[in-house]
A = this chain, B = another copy of it.
Amino acid sequence: MNANRIPDIIIGRLPIYLRALQRMADKGVQTTSSQELGDRVGISAAQIRKDISQFGEFGKQGTGYHITFLLDKLREILKIDRIWDVAVIGAGDMGHALARYQGFTNRGFRIAMVFDIAPEKIGQKIDEFVIQDMANMAEEIQKAGIQIAMLTVPAPVAQDVTDMLVKAGVKALLNYAPISLTVPEDVRVQHIDPATHLQRMTYYL
């Protein structure tokens, strides 16, 4: 097994398996099959077996997968068997929503900092977070060694802010701005785009 060779499309499916498995575990289910997991996530059993077998032999013919074991393995593979600090850039509606989002708990992430550029927002609080001045963003992120940021600034400034984040050492960006970002090869961007999700459903209407 050479982890570097795993196609990105397979890596992209692992968090989906993880979420479905976590839900089963939360309900007290102990084992599952690739068929059952596949039915839940809309991916074929064969594909799931193939994806998971890239990383080792985690299931058994007949018995299937032990859910907690597979969860642990997936978390290890995805490096979320630790807690990553995340910076929220932009304290608008979306920044507020992310700073307060309850869905990061036990999933490998913790919001550590929130930045904005508006003088009337700087120093204000979102629950326990004090909104910090974006002028100090690069320095604070670098000092804290933060590698992950969620970008919720307006589209026209998103590329400039991205450039600053990349210089500060950010390697993974979740982009909420409706714009395509240019980053160096060693930086990953995921785009959160509600329109794309909606377009996937209209086909069936």
Contact = CB atoms under 8 A, between A and B. Distances in A.
| Copies of this chain in the oligomer | 2
Contacts of A12: 200
A129 interface: no
Nearest to A194: B174
Contact of A205 (B8, B79, B196, B200): B79
Contacts of A79: 202-203, 205
A11 B199 CA distance: 9
Interface residues of A, number: 59
B174 A16 contact: no
Given A8-B42, A9-B43, A192-B194, A202 B16 contact: no
Contact of A202 (B80, B100, B103): B80
A199 B18 contact: yes
A-B residue pairs, 3 tightest by C-beta: A103-B178, A93-B97, A172-B201
Nearest to A103: B178
B78 A202 contact: yes
A171 interface: yes
Interface stretch (A62-70, A133-141, A147-155, A159-167): A147-155
20 contacts: A9-B43, A12-B200, A14-B199, A14-B203, A15-B199, A19-B193, A19-B196, A77-B203, A80-B199, A80-B202, A86-B198, A92-B97, A97-B97, A101-B178, A102-B155, A109-B195, A109-B198, A171-B201, A172-B205, A174-B198
